[in-house]
Amino acid sequence: MHTIVALNVDYAATGPGHLDRAPCRISIASATTHIIDIVVRVPSLFDPMTMYTALSESDFDAPGVVELETAIEMTKDALAKFTSVILVGHGLARAARVLQLSVGREYQAGADVIEMLRTWNRRFGHWNYYALPKMCHVAGVPVPHNSAERALAMLALYERLVSGPFVASWMKDKLQLMQYSRGFPTEVATKPSPPDGVCVWAYRDDMCQCGQPTLGTKSEGPAAAVGTAPRARTGTEADIEADLEAAYAAPS
């Protein structure tokens, strides 16, 4: 019997590039409880990325902050309590790498919601990757505001994605249509302003300001558009829902 466990890692900046990051907060949650939620010391702190992490420089001097080596051991010990783990994340490969987690050792299978819900942009010839708040909005999951809430949101997203045969394609269609029609609510669509001089475009070659390699799948996308839904008539969320229901039965 597999246990589904979600891992969220927040990163502080150690330099101006989008890969210049170090783990600053780690949260692990199962369906029933938070397992760990810890703040990690960042020795070469360039910027705490408060708009994403909700941490300030002073938080790294507070009691209970641990070194990265300790955080890695705490993470491994938490996962070792389960006999068979499906590890869910948002940018899971990066998180597993920095925390030294391996398939077959700390977890048996991984699921990355950002990869599961990517869509192919035929116009510009690249994959579109969506921020967690947009995915949560489409799935009807409460939008998270801190690391522990993000771990729980990933669990809910994954459970939604695997709940039926057409759920993933329906969610991708809605994400794509909402993006093209600019139909997301302001609180979901607005990207927090990054600190001056810090690149945050890890998944966008066209937006990257630092020249470091971008993340995400680089393989060529499908020749046909992903999904089956037509373009929404007016771009409102109600019209998008109606168009999706006309294309195929929307999941309950």
Q: State residue 31's pLDDT score.
A: 84
* Model pLDDT for residues 7-31, shown as the tens digit of each residue: 999 999 999 999 999 999 999 999 8
User: Which CATH number do you get for residue 134?
Assistant: 3.30.420.10
pLDDT, position 251: 46
Please give the pLDDT value at position 95.
96
Query: Which residue segment(s) compose the domain that 46 sits in?
Result: 3-247
- When pLDDT is cut at 50, 70 and 90, the band that residue 219 belongs to is low
End-to-end CA separation in angstroms for the chain: 26
Instruction: Quote the pLDDT of residue 226.
Output: 46
Q: Specify the DSSP element, H or E, that contains 126.
A: strand 126-128
Q: Left if phi > 0, otherwise alpha if psi is -120 to 50, otherwise beta: which for 4?
A: beta
Q: Domain tally for the chain?
A: 1
52 domain residue, yes or no: yes
Q: Is residue 252 part of a domain?
A: no
> Average pLDDT, stretch 131-152?
94
Does the pLDDT value for residue 39 go beyond 60? Answer: yes
